[in-house]
Amino acid sequence: HFSPLPPAPEGPLATNSVLASFEDITALESAEAMRRDFVANVSHELRTPLTALMGFIETLRSSARDDAAARDRFLSIMEREAARMNRLVGDLLSLSRVEGEERMRPTGKVDLALVLKGITQTLEPVAEAAQVKLISEGEAGALPVQGDPDQLTQVFSNLVENAIKYGGQGGEVRLRVSLIPHEPVLRGKAYRVDVIDRGEGIDEQHLPRLTERFYRVDTHRSREKGGTGLGLAIVKHIVARHRGRFRVDSKKGEGSCFTVILPAA
């Protein structure tokens, strides 16, 4: 980046144009570096389960051949690793689709209240298995927004699943809906959904990076819980496509609150 600039032609306009092209190259190079990072990350994430699968195939072929109990155990692990790859590929496709569509605001009409109700019904058994109480509170009526029902379902499923997975030890997860008569940034009526847990919280230094692809506070823990590291990146892009706002508040040791604000239709 520090190769000498060509001698500046005379006059202020000409100098500006040299500066502008210098900045463009820097932006291009950093986009290229991000793309390379992403490809490297994806390859690494895919290779981890693949290596495990190949190792177990090898073991099944040799030592575990005549040991039925070991075979069952290895097959379960293989199933889990294959499921992980499947989730990862699914999340990559979701992410690439929503990134491609970001400029096009969805045109459908969706009742956010029904989306949230569907999610609590689907995730109730997951919460119960984790001994977490799933609590819905706030606005009870219809909450019409302009949007894509599947994508909005994905947003709130990701958030509630995360709250159960990472904040579940607090024993409860709250889904709180409120109406904002005039949202200052969106400049109009909006609905606010908070997904609140009383878990371990997130250290402040991580908050700005949580929506980066593959960023995890604790990689081992995320993997163990079946995470792909793409959930919040997908949330961020879907919310942007819906012209909404997304924020995270958290306090270490007290819990986290993930907030989505969507313009009312």
The one segment of 44-52, 59-67, 214-222, 236-244 that binds ligand ADP by CB under 6 A = 214-222
Instruction: Find the binder of ligand ADP among 84, 174, 192, 216 (CB under 6 A).
Output: 216
199 binds ligand ADP (CB under 6 A): yes
Nearest one of 259, 256, 260 to 163, comparing CA atoms: 256
Closest contact distance (angstroms) between CB of 130 and ligand ADP is 12
Helix (H) or strand (E) holding 55: helix 12-61
194 binds ligand ADP (CB under 6 A): no
Residue 15 DSSP SS3: helix
Going 202 to 204 to 205 to 206, the CA torsion angle's sign is: positive
256 binds ligand ADP (CB under 6 A): yes
Helices and strands in the chain: count of H runs, count of E runs: 6, 7
Closest contact distance (angstroms) between CB of 26 and ligand ADP is 28
49 binds ligand ADP (CB under 6 A): no
Closest contact distance (angstroms) between CB of 140 and ligand ADP is 25
d(CA 19, CA 207): 34
Amino acid at residue number 95: L
Closest contact distance (angstroms) between CB of 149 and ligand ADP is 21
Closest contact distance (angstroms) between CB of 48 and ligand ADP is 13
- Specify the pairing of strand 172-183 against strand 245-251: unpaired
Residue 224 DSSP SS3: helix
Residue 4 DSSP SS3: coil
154 binds ligand ADP (CB under 6 A): no
Total residue length of the chain: 265
106 binds ligand ADP (CB under 6 A): no
The one segment of 16-24, 100-108, 133-141, 227-235 that binds ligand ADP by CB under 6 A = 227-235
Footprint on this chain of ligand ADP (rule: CB under 6 A): 158, 162-163, 166-167, 197, 199, 202, 210, 216-218, 222, 227-233, 256
